[in-house]
Copies of this chain bind each other. A is one copy, B any other.
Amino acid sequence: MRDVLDRIGDKWSVLVIVELASGPRRFRQLQRAIDGISQRMLTLTVRRLERDGLVRRTVYPTVPARVDYRLTETGASLTHLVRALTDWSLQHRTIIAQARQDYDSEHPDHEIR
């Protein structure tokens, strides 16, 4: 179960799943939609999601070959959860940022990232 949680919890995986929840996307479209992701990290993220059976990579026999990515049935079953997570994060980011600031001023020497 823990390695499944690792994937669901990975921020890049979550952002790819959120984007694919709106429909199939090509690599470049994903890259544009996910601010700050490098080509290498996106390649790795979609491969892992493909390996987990959450994303399907389709190669179309055109010249040049067209490739797109979409959620599988299993991946789609995650979207409501992933959206709930991102909603919670957005709703609570101010209170969490404040908590971190308070903690840091009360513990000036701590080394927690």
Residues of A within 8 A of B (CB): 1-2, 4-6, 8-11, 14-15, 44, 47-48, 50-54, 74, 77-78, 81, 84-86, 88-90, 92-93, 95-96, 98-100, 102-104, 107, 110, 112-113
Contact = CB atoms under 8 A, between A and B. Distances in A.
B99 A52 contact: yes
Q: DSSP class of A's interface residues: helix, strand, loop or mixed?
A: helix
Which residue, A44, A98, A103, A104, has most C-beta atoms of chain B within 10 A? Answer: A103
A11 B11 contact: no
- Number of copies of this protein chain within its complex: 2
Contact of A53 (B74, B96, B110): B96
A2 to B, nearest CB: 5
Contacts of A54: 96, 99
